Structure 1
Amino acid sequence: MINVPLDSVDASPCAALAIGTDYTFGTLLDTHSHRRAQFLYGMTGLMEVGTEEGAWVVPPYTGVWIPAQKPHRVRMNGVSTRSVYVLPESAPR
């Protein structure tokens, strides 16, 4: 799925949902969290990911694991993402 809001499919019983999203340069996804864990992968551009524990610059072809319910923010600098959202019971770590 491309450019589909997570909220529109989050009720699915599937253990994992894959969504691709294209962002304009400088888009800030302010602090938020998800019911599902997220593996966030950048195909292009540069992501700046921050949590209360720290901040990371994530180059293309690299991803980060964000646990379920973990507050985080992301600045997208020319990024096309691929995310896999995983139900908490399927990713207990």
Structure 2
Amino acid sequence: MKDCSLHPIDQRLKEMGRTRTWLAKQIGKTPQCIGLYCNYKKLIVPESGFANLIGRVLYVDINYFVTDVFMCQGGKGLYYLYLYHFY
């Protein structure tokens, strides 16, 4: 079962010892904007300039972003999450 407790951006930030606020400052966005992605309210589009910018700041190649479907354990049972994630 895929662990969906952390969004890939949050996971990478954790590995780097950084925060969403730090990322927001690096790319000129608000922490709330980053939160929309990390809370699965918005998807990262691989071809976008935003994805390239996040990739550079988090030291990941744009090829890190791929579309996939995961089955995750949710509070009310199983559900599917469509998301872009890091390999």
Normalising to structure 2: TM-score of the pair? 0.27
Could you say which structure has the higher strand fraction? 1
RCO greater where, 1 or 2, for CA within 8 Å and sep 6 or more? 1
Structure with the higher helix share, 1 or 2: 2
